[in-house]
Amino acid sequence: MSKPLTKSSSQRKNIKNGAKGKVKANPNVVGKPIVDVETTPIVNALAVRPSTATAITKNDTTDQLQLKSIDVAAKARLMIIRDDESLISANALLIGVAQTRKDLENHRTALLKPFKDHIKNIEAKYFRSPLAVLDEADALMRRKVLDYRELQRQQAEKIRFEAEAKAQAAAEEAARLAEEGEEEEAAEAEAEATQQAIIAVQASAPARRMVVGDTQVSARKSWQFKIIDLGAIPDEYWEVNLSAIRGAIRSGIRSIPGVEIFEAEVLAVGGM
């Protein structure tokens, strides 16, 4: 039999003296203040009502199904089919396994349903919407940061390209002036070439890591892909749709290239 839930003497004392504690208004529950007593456990949004908790109390049905499962499993291990009579017994045991499984699944569903419903309601009421908003904000900010980093990279690449061109032109000019004997002008051109080369080297991509407080945001290169031509993809990158094949066979198709279709005997256990 199910054991009724009882309160210990300390729990009854806490309830009796609860009014002596500090009363706090719960911002999530309008009109339902809670009593803050040091010895009273904190009950959060995931707490399950006592009436629901009794649903999972071990009871006769649970015990019976556990024992029955062990019993049919033991009989299955010992079963030896030698003749038609033992075949009948084996089929009866197979039916017993199926029925015990069905009873156990139904009992499990009945016990867990209140808790699953409770969790589902909490997720829908308190978490689903804010988590969706945070996902949207996260995706938006990642895109903005990556877009700005790409802009920085393009600007740095432009500066580097222009500086390299200027350095090359200045170096060629310095060589020309040196050949003409214009040593002072050649030195100035050489200095300009050196300066532009330094600018080109310093025009680097944005830093891969940025520290904000005790947290960091880092960027790394990652190889991605997109499909541009299905027909060109090699066979080793395709996955066979087994569900589609089974569906085709059930619909009566008996010939599929590359597939051997054959009949095999299977057992079905169910009501008449």
**For the segment 190-241, what is each residue's pLDDT rounded down to a tens digit?**
898 888 888 888 877 777 778 878 888 888 888 888 999 999 999 899 999 9
What whole-number distance in Å separates Cα of residue 167 and Cα of residue 197? 6
Q: Tell me if 153 is assigned to some domain.
A: yes
The torsion angles phi and psi of 120, rounded to 5 degrees, stand at -60, -40
- Domain boundary residue among 183, 206, 229? 206
Domain boundary among 159, 183, 206: 206
Task: For residue 183, tell me if it sits in a domain.
Answer: yes
Q: Answer whether residue 64 is part of any domain.
A: no
pLDDT at 271: 66
Across residues 109-116, what is the average pLDDT? 93
The set of long-range contacts for 157-162, using a CB threshold of 8 Å and a minimum separation of 24, is 157/203, 159/199, 159/200, 159/203, 160/199, 160/200, 160/203
The answer, yes or no, to whether residue 126 has pLDDT greater than 90, is yes
Q: Residue 86 pLDDT more than 60? A: yes
Residue 197 lies in a domain: yes
DSSP bridge pairs for 211? 216
CA 72 to CA 96: how far, in whole Å?
7
Task: Kindly state the average pLDDT of the residues 73-98.
Answer: 92
For residues 185 and 177, is the Cβ–Cβ distance under 8 A?
A: yes
Average pLDDT for the chain: 80
End-to-end CA distance of the chain: 34
For residue 247, being part of any structural domain is answered with no
pTM score, whole prediction = 0.51
121 found inside a domain: no
Query: Does the pLDDT at position 247 exceed 50?
Result: yes
Number of domains in the chain: 2
186 is a domain residue:
yes
Full domain range(s) for residue 39: 1-43
Write out pLDDT tens, residues 35-85: 343 333 333 444 445 444 444 455 688 889 999 999 999 999 999 999 999
SS3 string, the chain, reads CCCCCCCCHHHHHHHHCHHHCEEECCCCCCCCCEEECCCCCCCCCCCCCHHHHHHHCCCHHHHHHHHHHHHHHHHHHHCCCCCHHHHHHHHHHHHHHHHHHHHHHHHHHHHHHHHHHHHHHHHHHHHHHHHHHHHHHHHHHHHHHHHHHHHHHHHHHHHHHHHHHHHHHHHHHHHHHHHCCCHHHHHHHHHHHHHHHHHHHHCCCCCCEEEECCEEEECCCCCCCCCCCHHHCCHHHCCCCHHHHHHHHHCCCCCECCECCCCCCCCCCCCC
Residue 19 lies in a domain: yes
